């Protein structure tokens, strides 16, 4: 199938969620419109490795902190371009497709709440929500930016199933978070405090630094060669 070939060529990770597998639950949570397009394509794009590797230095170097912040937004733009190409390919085949924006919405859909990229990638079975509340993949950890395309192109043969968390007893991000915003609980809704994370970032801003902190993204052993051995040895 042409679109699958293009996904393999353009994305670093991709997965497909078939909404019919979780229809009732999805409609309950997001409303009827979520199933207007029965498939979600989650597209993962790697952030630049050399910038991510410098994250520990950003706390004492505003230039590097700004560089990381810029890469955060630039990688969103790059993955959005990839999503547009996938939509073009689907439309050429005679099907419909739309892209969700970063906040998980689209003006064509009336959703009770945003459908996030994290949700699409999780349902597609390509990652799990880590204790740090980031979508984490086995190969690249959380070092990816995501986009979601919803479509009516029949893709059930390529659809995955939600995967369980592989965090287990790992507490590396819990111990490394400078804002003490992560605790060791299996459910990301309880382990990650957006309030404490936000407080840390706004304090950085008050001190005149760029509003950037990516320690939880950098340190996760699933994407970090230096800490990976800790999970390999457990």
Q: Enumerate binding residues for ligand SF4 (CB under 6 A).
A: 130-132, 136, 167, 170, 172-173, 177-179, 181-182, 197, 200, 213, 215-216, 219-222
* 44 vs 221 by CB, closer to ligand SF4: 221
How many CA atoms, within 13 angstroms, populate the side-chain half-sphere of residue 113?
8
User: Cβ 22 to ligand SF4, closest distance in Å?
Assistant: 24
User: Cβ 109 to ligand SF4, closest distance in Å?
Assistant: 29
* 38 vs 214 by CB, closer to ligand SF4: 214
Residue 48 class from Cβ within 10 Å (0-12 exposed, 13-18 middle, 19+ buried)? middle
Beta strands in the chain (DSSP E): 13-18, 39-46, 97-99, 128-129, 135-136, 144-151
* 37 vs 200 by CB, closer to ligand SF4: 200
User: Cβ 199 to ligand SF4, closest distance in Å?
Assistant: 9
Among the listed residues 49, 204, 17, 39, the one whose alpha carbon sits nearest the alpha carbon of residue 141: 49
* 51 vs 149 by CB, closer to ligand SF4: 51
User: Cβ 182 to ligand SF4, closest distance in Å?
Assistant: 5
Among the listed residues 70, 33, 37, the one whose alpha carbon sits nearest the alpha carbon of residue 51: 70
* 1 vs 185 by CB, closer to ligand SF4: 185
Among the listed residues 105, 100, 77, 192, the one whose alpha carbon sits nearest the alpha carbon of residue 149: 100
User: Cβ 155 to ligand SF4, closest distance in Å?
Assistant: 29
Residues 96, 37: contact at Cβ < 8 Å? yes
């Amino acid at each position: 199938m042409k679109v699958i070939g293009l996904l393999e060529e353009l994305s670093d990770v991709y997965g497909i969620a078939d909404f019919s597998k979780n229809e009732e639950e999805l409609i309950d949570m997001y409303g009827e419109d979520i199933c207007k397009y029965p498939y979600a394509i989650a597209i993962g794009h790697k952030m630049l490795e050399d910038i991510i590797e410098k994250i520990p230095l950003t706390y004492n170097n505003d230039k590097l902190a700004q560089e990381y912040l810029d890469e955060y937004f630039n990688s969103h733009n790059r993955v959005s371009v990839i999503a547009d190409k996938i939509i073009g390919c689907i439309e050429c085949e005679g099907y419909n497709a739309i892209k969700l924006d970063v906040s998980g919405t689209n003006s064509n859909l009336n959703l009770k709440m945003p459908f996030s990229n994290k949700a699409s990638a999780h349902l597609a079975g390509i990652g799990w929500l880590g204790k740090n509340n980031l979508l984490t993949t086995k190969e690249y950890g959380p070092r990816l930016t995501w986009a979601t395309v919803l479509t009516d192109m029949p893709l059930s043969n390529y659809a995955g199933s939600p995967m369980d968390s592989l965090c287990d007893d790992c507490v590396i991000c819990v111990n490394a978070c400078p804002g003490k915003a992560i605790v060791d609980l299996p459910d990301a809704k309880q382990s990650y405090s957006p309030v404490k994370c936000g407080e840390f970032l706004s304090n950085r801003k008050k001190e005149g630094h760029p509003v950037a902190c990516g320690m939880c993204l950098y340190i996760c052993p699933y994407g970090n060669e230096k800490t990976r051995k800790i999970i390999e040895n457990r």
